[in-house]
Structure 1
Amino acid sequence: MSSSTRVPAAGSAAPGSWTPVGKNGAPARLAGAPRQRRVPYLLVGILLVLGCAAAGVVVALRLGHRVPVLELARPVSVGQALTGRDVREVDVSAGTGLAVIPARSLVTVIGRPVAYSLPAGTLLTRQVLGAAQVPPAGQAVAAVGLKAGQVPSGLQPGNHVTVVVEPDGNAVSGKSSSPPLLSWDAVVTDVKADATDQTTVVSMQMAVEDARQLAAVPAGQVDLVETSGGGQ
């Protein structure tokens, strides 16, 4: 008898091989077969990275954004009308939180009086312009005439000073008992030198009672000591 060789039908499994079958009769998925779901997750990750990078760029641009505003180029006295030489343009961070006057509003500032005596470098705001606001309640302005050596060089409105009363000359010679040393804190509001530059008249804002005591001190017994502190 001649032997015959069977050829497996198309689509049938080869002899000796088997295909796992699920409960419903369909071929079961092998445990080691890779799932085709990684590509969407990869795309989502890329989009998140790009979004974070864009947000970082926006924040950096905002933090670095600067705007031109106006500041005092030199000290001014209370009531003084501003001129073009009194102000200058500077760039500040947009997030300062101050109601500063933009540089484009320069024409609205020229000719306006300042409400306070202010040092150079003060950023201009609407609050510092207008009618004089000194002295406020509980404060007074006292003026003293000082010689060279009694007033610091370069003293300007807005500087903080300590007013010191020198001992009486009679007390030094022993003719009377030495009174306690008097001193008061004040803010300079105006500085003017006379025509001969021999005397400098300094106006200062200070507590009402301190101003009254200063007014009673004889001429020539007052010294000023400049202290730390900004303008008003």
Structure 2
Amino acid sequence: MASAPRPRRLPYLLVGVLLVLGCAAGGVVVATRVGHQEPVLVLARSVTVGQVLSKKDLREESLSDGSGLAFIPVSSRAQVEGRPVAYSLPAGTPLTKKLLGKAHIPSAGQAVAAVGLKAGQFPPGVQPGNRVTVVVTPTAGGDATGSTSSSSQSSAWDASVTDVRSDSTDQTTVISLQMAQEDARQLAAAPTGQISVVMVHGGGQ
């Protein structure tokens, strides 16, 4: 009697080959993504404007090199230690060259105003060095400073963020803004609930 023909295993071999190729492609993607990370210097704790950085103030963290910001690499740690910071900065801030150097304090004609904001009144990623526009929307029958007026137009001023701090409950974030002295006075008189901070083009560090 003739023996029955042996079943063909070609489909199984083909599936195996495709699985191997798929795994190899996945490995290439993972390797590529890992390759886009670089070790940079990050603040290990909060620092105040003018503070000289020490070894304890710095830690290493791998961040994407496609963010557009010139982060300081770990290899430059020796050049960073012993240098002052130009702003008050929170822990976890990746360092850039613009954050180091001479303290940025108000010059003649400038002032710093602090505003306490809640979620939704400012971009979550706002940080020292950002350029922003501060918008104050008046209530019905009042102007941006709270005084009675027939004007219903909003007020807006350009400013630079010098500090960002959250309270212990994370309900309010205090943002310090450097701006023209007269603008700062008007902003200080505005009701907090009517203030919003908007990031503008070129507002990075």
Max radius of gyration: which structure? 1
Match of 2:59 among 67, 79, 85: 85
SS at match of 1:85: strand
**Offset, 1:122:** 2.5
Q: CA-to-partner distance for each residue in 1:158-183, whole Å, 9 max, x for gaps? A: 111100001214459xx962343210
**Offset, 1:200:** 0.7
Match of 1:206 among 175, 179, 183: 179
Distance 1:137-1:120 versus aligned 2 partners, 3 A rule: farther
Contact (CA 8 Å) 1:145, 1:201: kept in 2 or not? yes
Number of matched residues? 148
**Offset, 1:114:** 0.9
1:151 equivalenced with 2:125 (yes/no): no
Q: C-alpha distance in 2, partners of 1:102/1:86? A: 9
Q: C-alpha distance in 2, partners of 1:138/1:73? A: 33
**Offset, 1:87:** 9.1
C-alpha root-mean-square deviation of aligned residues, in Å? 3.7
Q: C-alpha distance in 2, partners of 1:224/1:157? A: 13
Match of 1:141 among 105, 112, 124: 112
TM-score between both structures, scaled by the size of structure 1? 0.51
**Offset, 1:133:** 3.1
Q: Which residue number in structure 2 is paired with residue 220 of structure 1?
A: 193
**Offset, 1:214:** 0.6
Q: Which residue number in structure 2 is paired with residue 129 of structure 1?
A: 101
Q: After the TM superposition, which residues 175-214 of structure 1 pair with which residues of structure 2 at under 5 Å, given as runs?
A: 177-214=150-187
Task: For structure 2, list consecutive stretches of 5 or more residues without a partner in the other structure.
Answer: 1-39, 63-71
Q: C-alpha distance in 2, partners of 1:230/1:143? A: 19
**Offset, 1:102:** 10
TM-score between both structures, scaled by the size of structure 2? 0.57
